[in-house]
Amino acid sequence: MSTSARAGRKSVLLVEDDAEIRELVGDFLRDEGYDVVAVDDGGAAIRALHANRPPPDELGLVVLDMMLPVADGVEVLRVLGDLGHYVPVAAMSANREQLRRAYEAGAAATLPKPFDLDGLLDVVQRNCA
């Protein structure tokens, strides 16, 4: 995952195709002390999930937009399920149906857009000790 991730410190995989949201959330989490790897489509997310299967146990959470190019959030969740659900997912969407589908596909948390950064931070803190 991140070469700067240290033992005991987990990373967040941020999957968001909107550049402004990706930058805002990524910068916010980095300012809070988290290592963040940001990708802009579902295909890149799937590659990152395959590349970061434990061990090592660096990846603490995937923050996943549900409406993505290449592979949507449900497909990313399906692949993660095939890999053994080794990392929790917080799904993001403005569409309630997409959030319901994410939950049914195994997401640990859902964040309706627009979301509060403090709410996002709470989800990240619960998963990235």
Structure pTM?
Answer: 0.90
* Helix%, strand%, coil% for the chain, nearest 5: 40, 20, 40
In a domain, 1, yes or no: no
Domains: count for the chain: 1
Q: What are phi and psi of 47, to 5 degrees?
A: -60, -40
For position 104, which CATH number holds?
3.40.50.2300
Residue 75 near residue 42, CB atoms below 8 Å: yes
Q: Exposed/middle/buried for 25, CB within 10 Å: 0-12, 13-18, 19+?
A: buried
pLDDT tens digits for range 80-108: 999 999 999 999 999 999 999 999 999 99
14: nearest Cα among 81, 68, 57: 68
